[in-house]
Chains A and B, each alone.
Chain A
Amino acid sequence: MTSYLTTPAPKAEQPPVQREVEVLSARPVGAYVELTLAAPDVAERAQPGQFVAFAVGGPMTANLLRRSIALAGTGPGTVTVVVAPHGPGSTWLAERRAGDVVDVVGPLGRPFPLPEPGTTALLVGGGYGAAALVGLAELLRSRGSRVLAVTGAADAARLCSVEELGSVADRVEVTTDDGSAGRAGRVTLAVEELIGESGVAYACGPMPMLRAVADAATAAGVPSYVAVEESMACGIGVCMTCVLPVVGEDGQTRFSRSCTEGPVFGGDRVRFADVGSLPWDVVGAEAMGVVRP
């Protein structure tokens, strides 16, 4: 049996809540909008790596599916998220202003597992995914870790949380595909340089980036944890739409829910190449008529 560098992330310490909460502030950040919400019950339960799920469109909405967004940070009684408007739901969310009320469920999902205190950690964020690493960076620093951060995006406007990470991390590397900020190229440029001095790697961002970071870490013998962003209908584990092929502790691959078994998975346990297909060795594939070749 293949050996793995990671063990699956344990469940969060506390169950989620559902609340109607007030937007305290909405701040444009490049191509995104940062919303801060008065949500003390969510804030006190939240751990880095977890997310929240918003109802969108108001009480009469025809868009019934929740929008799941990573927590970018918590303050006294508040939580912050970074919204990237791309569809009707996220655009509606990005248009919320101070005083508006939104229905939120959270915190959801499994938090990032933490390394032994003092372990040097490499944090890699793609686009708005970098926001989800700020709280983790703070927590790791408080536990004596040296924190190396890499943030990358297509262009300067799509970079996120560079200042926040800069104020916490020991070192921040910035890359953009078009060279409009930092070094021109992908995050892997910096990851390759820094992985050797890291004891653990964390990543949040688009799937190809997560795969690249996980592969680089695994090749260097470094455990990695990735927070995936799969589209979810509910966020709480009942709809079964957000599954990925993930290798469990017993070595078996299952279609695992990104919301409740994730969003944080061991980087060496996600079968990135098989996402969107049904490999024969997924538990229960045989009952679907998929047999060993």
Chain B
Amino acid sequence: MTVLDTAVDMTTALGSVPLVSPVLTASGCSAFGQELEPFVDLTALGAVVTKSVQLRPRSGRPTPRMAETPSGMLNSIGLQGPGIDGLLAGELPWLAERGVPAFVSIAGTRVEDFAELATRLRGVPGVLGLEVNISCPNVESRGEVFACDPVAASDVIAAVRAAADPAQPIYAKLSPDVTDIVSVARAVTEAGADGLSMINTLLGLVIDPDTMKPVLGGVTGGLSGPAVRPVAVRCVWQVHAALPEVPILGMGGIRSGLDALQFVLAGASAVSVGTAVFHDPSATARVHRELAAALAARGFSSLREAVGYAHR
């Protein structure tokens, strides 16, 4: 820890679970944390937010899976992953042995899938809580993303809250691709979500002018990176204004400490750094340092004082 860090109290929480840092990885952007070990002290992160896990191993989509876009990228991975058995046997013990807190992202195609995943993760060492990915755009039925419908979204969240370990907070990950994100946020909160993760990627499309066909094998993909940051900050702002008591994990294009500060001022009590890690594998540690310095420079003695400050 640097001198600057000690000047500002950077501790925060996910629901009832305390965190040493407000900076986390973002689901799908740091795999399961292992690859970042050469570049950052994983134990100094708020948590590693894992890539979304499903019940069964998934191959993901065929390539090409990504296209670079202005200040961002489009991806169509399709939730490639080891499945819950693989995660419980391999990645989670690896994190737990090192004392790295894990916030496990879960995904499924049916309400029961989510509930079963939550059951399997009860009491697992090192698992702080669950991020419920009801908003991945790279699923088979793109028109049926749970988070686009308040009723479907709250069905999933209610089932997960009922099945999950009571000590593990559950955060609903919301999609920005909705007309009224506040109504979805309100529905999932009433269904039992302890907090909200905002935002998932925006659905996008890139066409190759040479082949005159979509670049991605999956045709459409999720847009991430600094290009989406104003959309994300707007979502956090709107939801915090409507539901000021609901904790928010903010993400979407955070590249620097000042970017993270925007999310905090809008109402996020923690942030995830996602696509920026592709550009800079040590981005999470740098964002923590820069955020601490930015808070100190603005006279805050703690992160908590700054949460939602822009609304006051």
Contact = CB atoms under 8 A, between A and B. Distances in A.
B78 interface: yes
5 contacts: A64-B73, A65-B66, A65-B68, A234-B278, A284-B57
A288 B58 contact: yes
A89 B64 CA distance: 18
- Chain B's interface size range is 35 or more
B63 A63 contact: no
Contact of B56 (A63, A260, A276, A287): A287
B80 A255 contact: yes
Contact of B62 (A64, A238, A276): A276
Contacts of B54: 287
Interface string B59-73: 111111110101111
B276 interface: yes
Contacts of B29: 238-239
Given A55-B280, A240-B65, A284-B58, 6 more contacts: A64-B226, A233-B278, A238-B277, A238-B281, A243-B65, A283-B59
B60 to A, nearest CB: 6
Contacts of A188: none
Contact of B281 (A89, A234, A242, A285): A234
6 cross-chain pairs, A with B, having the tightest CB-CB distances, nearest first: A284-B59, A234-B278, A15-B38, A237-B35, A284-B57, A241-B66
B262 interface: no
Contacts of A278: 59, 61-62
A64 B80 contact: no
Contact of B38 (A16, A240, A254): A16
A275 to B, nearest CB: 7
Contacts of A242: 63
Nearest to B225: A64
A172 interface: no
Contacts of B36: 236, 238
Interface of B is mostly: loop
A255 B59 contact: yes
Contact of A241 (B51, B72, B75, B225): B75
B77 interface: yes
Nearest to B78: A288
Interface string A280-293: 00111111111000
Nearest to A244: B63
B152 interface: no
A18 interface: yes
Contacts of A119: none
Interface string B66-100: 10101111010110110100000000000000000
A177 interface: no
Interface of A is mostly: loop
B120 to A, nearest CB: 16
A6 interface: no
B83 A284 contact: yes
A194 B78 CA distance: 43
Contacts of B298: none
A105 interface: yes
A287 B57 CA distance: 7
Most buried by A among B58, B70, B72, B282: B58
B140 interface: yes
Interface in B209-245: 217, 225-226
B39 interface: yes
A2 interface: no
Contacts of A282: 59
B150 to A, nearest CB: 27
B63 A64 contact: no
A103 B71 CA distance: 18
A277 interface: yes
Contacts of B38: 15-17
Contacts of B59: 254-255, 278, 282-285, 287-288, 290
A55 B279 contact: yes
B275 interface: yes
A231 interface: yes
